[in-house]
Amino acid sequence: MTAGIIDGLLIVRACVLSGGRQRAAYLQVTGSSGWSGLHVGMRKRAVREVKTMLLMQGALCRTCADGQDAVPPPCTLCNPLALELCDGRGEYPITGDMLWVYPPAARFSLIAYLPPAEPQPDRLVLARTTQYAGLELRAPEWVDASPADRHRHMRKVVEHLVRDYPAVEHSKVRTLIFDGTREIPYPFNWRDVLDDQDR
């Protein structure tokens, strides 16, 4: 699907399950310096446009389409939304921190964890889980990194978790970014990556 995309040409894709069918919206974004070189306003506009396309298809409600979050909070009307960036070499999640401006002194914690058995949505994940691995990065190392480099950083954290907890069921591994105030989901299915590594 992404084969043949030339450097500087990116595709923002939004997918959601609606009416038993997978609905998708695509938008081409050009930028000679890649996604990390795009102004945050342009990134927000691209995300808003693909969400609006899904709204027009009847696959998202207005609240989810209009929200500022890359991944809207759980909604009783809509299924979870997946936002991805395709650069011709891979497909990477678009996360909420990509749509914010951070000072250079900001620090980010990348966390791979196993969800606690008892869900407690009113408490932060980090306050509820004991099985996790983490990596702390300064803002320039994370915010200015390409989506592929961000994904490599996160994969290292996931591999560290699996080394520490070898009996972990790969499909249960979850990842997030903590920016000092918010836990931002990094939605990715790590099962296939980890299963391939075991072969």
35: which DSSP letter?
G
**In the structure, what pLDDT confidence band is assigned to residue 67 with cuts at 50, 70 and 90?**
confident
What is the per-residue pLDDT across 117-156, written as a single tens digit (0 to 9) for each?
A: 666 666 676 666 778 999 999 999 999 899 999 999 999 9
> Which pLDDT band holds residue 7 (cuts at 50, 70, 90)?
low
Tell me which residue has tokens 């390409």. 146
Looking up tokens 């560290």, which residue turns up?
Answer: 160
| 166 confidence band (pLDDT: 50, 70, 90) | confident
Which residue's structure tokens are 């980890």? 194
Strands (E), the chain: 9-18, 21-30, 82-86, 91-93, 107-113, 132-138, 174-178, 183-185
Q: Would you state the pLDDT for residue 5? A: 45
Structure tokens belonging to residue 37? 């070189």
pLDDT at 4: 36
Task: Report the pLDDT value the prediction gives residue 123, as an integer from 0 to 100.
Answer: 65
Mean pLDDT of 30-56: 87
Strand partners, 9: 30
Q: What's this model's pTM, rounded to 2 decimal places?
A: 0.83
Chain position carrying tokens 């890649």: 34
81-86: average pLDDT: 92
When pLDDT is cut at 50, 70 and 90, the band that residue 195 belongs to is low
Q: Which helix (H) or strand (E) holds 72?
A: none
pLDDT at 56 over 70: yes
Residue 197 has a pLDDT of 59
Kindly state the percentage of the chain with pLDDT values over 70.
Answer: 85
The DSSP secondary structure of 146-168, one letter per residue, reads -HHHHHHHHHHHHHHHHHH-TT-
Listed in sequence order, the residues at least 6 apart from 64 whose beta carbon sits closer than 8 Å to its beta carbon are 51, 55, 72, 75, 77, 78, 81
| Interatomic CA distance for residues 36 and 147, integer angstroms | 8
**Predicted confidence (pLDDT) at residue 3 exceeds the cutoff of 50:** no
Question: Is the alpha carbon torsion for 60, 65, 71, 74 positive or negative?
Answer: negative
- Return d(Cα 113, Cα 25) in angstroms, integer: 30
DSSP 97: G
Cα–Cα distance measured from residue 41 to residue 1, given in angstroms and rounded to the nearest whole number:
27
Residue 199 — very low, low, confident or very high, per pLDDT cuts 50/70/90? very low
Confidence of residue 2 (pLDDT cuts 50, 70, 90): very low
Mean pLDDT of 191-196: 71
Task: For residue 62, give the H/E element and its range.
Answer: helix 62-66
pLDDT at 32 (0 to 100): 59
